[in-house]
Amino acid sequence: MLIDKNVLPLVDVDFMNNTHFEDIDLINEIYLNIENFEQNQNIENFDKLKSIYNQWVDHTIQHFATEEEEMQKKGFFAYPFHKGEHDKNLSDIKALWQEFESNKDIKALKNYIEYDLINWLINHIKSMDTVTARFFKTGMSPCGML
C-alpha cells in the first residue's frame, strides 16, 4: 500500500471525502501493479497496469467534473483557479501514461505516483478543496485561506 486513507485531510463535504477515498483505493492499486510490473515486465502485467491506470483517469475526470459542477452551481468565486489546478493535473497524468507507453520507464512512473502525485493530491485537498468545501457548506471561505 502506498498511502493510508487515514492520513488524507478531510474537507467539510462528504461527497468530496468519499471521492477522495475512492481515489486513494485506485492509487494504491496502481502502485501494487507498478510493483508487479517492476518485478516481471510481461505483457499481462502491463495490461493490468494499463487497465487500472485508465480506470483511475476516468475516476479523476469524474472527481474533478463533480466538484466543478457544484462550484458553478453555487457561484464559487475561485472557480477558474480551482479548475485550472484540475486541468493541469489531468493533462499531467495523461501525459505521464503516454510517456510510459513509449519508454516503459517504470521507475519514472513509480517516482511520479509515489512523490509528485501524492504531494499534489494532499496539497490540493488541503488548499483548494478545503476552501471550496467550506464555501459549499457555509457560503464562506476559511479565514485567511484565500
Binding site for Fe ion (CB under 5 A): 67, 129
Shortest distance, position 44 Cβ to Fe ion, whole Å = 33
Looking at the Cβ atoms of 16 and 49, the one nearer to Fe ion is: 16
Looking at the Cβ atoms of 70 and 106, the one nearer to Fe ion is: 70
| Exposure b/e, 42-69, CB count within 10 A at least 16 = b | eeebbeebeebbeebbebbeebbeebbe
Looking at the Cβ atoms of 29 and 67, the one nearer to Fe ion is: 67
Q: Round to whole Å and give the CA distance between 51 and 30.
A: 9
Shortest distance, position 102 Cβ to Fe ion, whole Å = 29
Shortest distance, position 129 Cβ to Fe ion, whole Å = 4
Only one residue has cell 489546478, namely 85
DSSP letter string, 102-142: HH--HHHHHHIIIIIIHHHHHHHIIIIIHHHHHHHHHSSPP
Kindly report the number of other CB atoms within 10 A of residue 143's CB atom.
7
Which one-letter amino acid corresponds to residue 29?
A: E
Looking at the Cβ atoms of 32 and 122, the one nearer to Fe ion is: 122
Shortest distance, position 127 Cβ to Fe ion, whole Å = 9
Shortest distance, position 85 Cβ to Fe ion, whole Å = 7
Looking at the Cβ atoms of 24 and 30, the one nearer to Fe ion is: 24
Q: Which residue is nearest to Fe ion (CB)?
A: 129
